[in-house]
Structure formats: C-alpha cells, structure tokens
Amino acid sequence: MSRATPDFDPASVDVDAFHADIRALRAEIDASVGEDDLRHLRRIETWGRVATVLGLAASWIAPNPLSAVGMGLGRSTRWLLMHHVGHRGYDRVPGAPVERTSKGFAKGNRRFVDWLDWILPDAWVFEHNVLHHSHTGEDADPDLLERNAEGSLRAPHRPLALRYFQLALLAITWRASYYSPETLASLRRKRRPDGPLTREEWREVLLSGFAPYFAWNFVLLPALFLPLGAWASFSVLCNSLLAEIITNVHTFLVVGPNHTGEDLYRFDSKPENKGERYLQQVIGSANYRTGGDLNDYLHLWLNYQIEHHIFPDLSMLQYQRIQPQVRALCEKHGVPYVQESVWTRVRKMVDVIVGKSSMRRLVRRESAAPAAPGSLPDVA
C-alpha cells in the first residue's frame, strides 16, 4: 500500500504535465462508457434490495443481528446509489433511464422511492457535490473534519475519554445529528453555515427531513407487521433501530477517513490552476483496498476516493477500471497515492478528530517575486 512520504515536496510536481495526463486519461474513459456500466449499476442495486428483503423476512420473529445487518446494508446501498447517480455518474451511459440519472434520481416524490433518508437530496447535492468537491481540504470545505472538531473534540482541556465518547455518539447518529442540518444550512445559505440553524431552518429539517424518514422506518414499517401480533411489530421496530445504528456506523467509517489523517493535506488557499487543483484533490484524499464487486460494495465504492475526486462523474464500474492507471499516473509524476485498509484510515481519522495528531498543511508563500509557472507553495 502506498503512503504519503514526509519528504514529499509539492513544488517538485510539474502540475501542467500532470493535468495533461489526466485529460488524456479522461478521453480514454469517455470512449469506454457503455451498457456494461448500467448493467453493473443494476446488479449493485439488486444486492441492496436483496439485503433489505432478507433483513425484513426475519425481522418480525425477534430482534436479531442478521435482520438488522440486512436492513442496515440496504439503507447504506441507497446512500451508495445517491452518491454515484447524484454525481452524474450515469448521465452519459447509453440507455440509462432518467430515474437513474442526476436529473431524475430522488427528485420530487422519487425521493421516497430512491433515497428516503434524514437528509434532503437537493441539500446533500449542494453541500457535497458543489461545496465539498470544489473546496476539498480548504476552509470552505464543509466536511473538513479537523476544522469541524476544533473547539470540541480536539479541545485539549477535555478528558480524552470524553472525546472518544462524543465521537462514538456522533458515529451512531451522524446522518441525523450532523449531516442533515449541515447540508440544509449549506443549501439555504449557499455556503458553509457560520452558526447554529435558525428556527425556520430547524423546522424544515424536522418536517421535511426527519419526519418522513422517522415515520416510515420507525412507525409505519413496524405497524405493517401488527397483523402478526404485537411482538412481531415490536421486533421489527427493534431491528429497524439497530439497522439505523449499523447504517450510521457503516457510512461514518467509510466516509470520514477519506480526507482525514496525519499523512493527508489541508490547504490554506485555493489552487491557482487546474493542474494544482488535481494535485490537491489527490494529496488531500485516501483510498482503501480496491478491487472486486463485493469488496467495493462493502466499502460503498468510497474506497476509490482519489479517482472520484479527480473524476467525480464516473460510474462505479469505471472507477474499478481506471484505478491502476490513476495510481501509475501518480507514481509517474511523484505524487503520493495514499492507499491503506479502511481500519488503518479509521484509526488515523480518530487520532485527528480527538486531537492526538494533525493533518499536514499546504501554505502558500507570500513573496514579492512572481512564482514560477506551475509552482506550488511550501509545506508547513
């Protein structure tokens, strides 16, 4: 597995040549898009539906881990689909129906079919696709965990045990406690929010975000099993609650470490050109183990984070195909390609969040003399 090296000098990279190779690779990708991409999407979606059905099938018997895992994995799969379809990954795929493109997926009433979550789809698209991908690792990135943890989880005056406990609570609730209000605030204010939600914003979170999801998963779904008896309904409720914890932990463990660790960079300024932008996307991101549909499915395809941040609008199948080429391209240009197991990355994320370590900083040097073309700032 590749790791960032302490002696890496970003200024040594010819970002113009790096950009040219990325553009050439993109041309190859566009020429290879075909019906296989859509068949692959349908297969992965089927896996999620099967997991949900199997989970529900035994959920009425008694609270049990198998039902909870199946239902939880089904919910995580909807997140996976929203991520890649919402990123326009299938907009250019021949034969893709409109409901499997960014123009139709989870739009309007299709939210209740495609991606019923605590989070409003339009809010997530703006916060994630626009703000996060446009400002990865910068102060304008709403998902910069090191910055978000300052003053709370990274506060040195708080006992370390308390910081770990707070992080655990966040992990089991984060889609509702953090991501839903964060994404809506970003959408309504068209930037990262600079304070707590207003009363009107909280009302929208509760009524439009929380209420439909809560009503279906924790009221209506258990009620459907009442004809089998009160115990059956209670068992479904317990399994649904356990599934919610599993989905939260699952998504948190594969989402959070993508851009957090002592070997990854955060940036004090915006890139000056496209070459620098691509370089920052790579050195501010990390992959997990890649390859094979089952492995990638369990990682929710977030194990291709470097490729995803270079090319956000690819299908899941295309990420599998290009990963070796992207890694080789980074090695050619001397760009660190960070790839480790998800468990190693989780440990590094936790260390940053609780203040035991810090991310590397890329600081632009102030100077009266103009910088050489394609040069990058010093590392702090």
Residue 364 belongs to a domain: no
Q: Does residue 169 belong to any structural domain of this protein?
A: yes
Compute CA distances 73 → 33, 207, 243, whole Å: 28, 26, 8
Residue partners of 293: CB distance under 8 A and separation at least 6: 40, 43, 44
Domains contained in the chain, number: 1
* Residue 259: inside a domain: no
The answer to whether the beta carbons of residues 38 and 57 sit under 8 Å apart is no
What local confidence, expressed as pLDDT, does residue 194 receive? 67
Amino acid 5: pLDDT: 56
Q: Which residues pair with 379 in a beta bridge?
A: 362
Q: Is residue 10 part of a domain?
A: no
Average predicted confidence (pLDDT) for the chain: 92
- Residue in this structure with the two tokens 């089927």, named with its chain if needed: 46
Q: Which residues contact 2 (CB under 8 A, 6 or more apart)?
A: 327, 336, 337, 338, 339
| Helical (H) or strand (E) element with 266 | strand 265-267
Q: Is 280 within a domain?
A: no
Average pLDDT over residues 220-231: 98
Residue with tokens 């090695």: 331
Q: Note the pTM of the prediction, 2 decimals.
A: 0.91
pLDDT, tens only, 296-336: 999 999 999 999 999 999 999 999 999 999 999 999 999 99
**Each residue's pLDDT tens digit, 243-254:** 999 999 999 999
355 is a domain residue = no
pLDDT of residue 280: 96
CA-CA distance, 18 to 25, in Å (whole number)?
A: 11
The strands making up 265-267's β-sheet, listed across from edge to edge, are 265-267, 360-363, 378-379
Is 19 inside a domain boundary?
no
User: What residue numbers bound the domain in which 329 lies?
Assistant: 30-253+288-335
pLDDT digits (tens, 9 = 90+) for 28-80: 999 999 999 999 999 999 999 999 999 999 999 999 999 999 999 999 999 99
110 inside domain: yes
